[in-house]
Amino acid sequence: MIYDLSPTLRPETPVYPGDTPFDLAWVSAIEGGASANVSRITTTPHIGSHVDSPLHTEPRGESIADLPLAPFLGLCRVVRVPPVPLISPRHVEGIDLGNPARLLFKTESVRDARTFPERFTALAPELAHLLVERGVLLVGLDTPSVDPGDSTSLDAHHTLLRGGVAILEGIVLDGVPEGVYELIALPLRLAGLDASPVRAVLRTMEG
């Protein structure tokens, strides 16, 4: 079974306040006499399900095109946590964080997908440090960011990206039970960019 974790992108898709919304225009159209339909899009790369690169928060960080692909493909664990302001180490007690080394947190803290949430669940700095220490390859959330929406220090981003932990944000985990799956969430090879939209999916383990 395959679970699609990516919301549909459209002009109504909410983005961070002040960021560039999704816009589609037609360069050519068959109805207008052209031989093919050709479209053009304008959008922030931080839209829907997306991956942040170190360049997002680190002045000399790697761009999205320079990231290794291994963290975005492989076994992962979906962990359900309460919709608290910050996920802390106590919420992962008893979980082997390194097996598998990818974690997706199902917070269910964003209930209206039509508007950008004023508040949503994020990662506590202490948990970000713990994930780095345990060798986690990737962490994902069903929220717009691993840091609170009003954060300017972006502690979780800095800790995770400097520690080599990939960040997957904005995924949809509604209807996905806790458990171990295969994750496929490959970012586009966009030179010089700080993020990339992804089509993120989970595949159940055969067996």
Active-site annotation, residues? 56
Distance CA(136)–CA(96), nearest Å, equals 10
**φ/ψ of residue 92, rounded to 5:** -120, 15
Structure tokens at 78: 């979906």
Cα of 179 vs its chain's centroid, Å:
19
Distance CA(194)–CA(105), nearest Å, equals 23
Instruction: Give the amino acid at 106.
Output: K
Residue 166, SS3?
strand
Structure tokens at 193: 């960019």
Q: Which of 90, 108, 97 is nearest to 139 (CA)?
A: 97
Structure tokens at 115: 């508007």
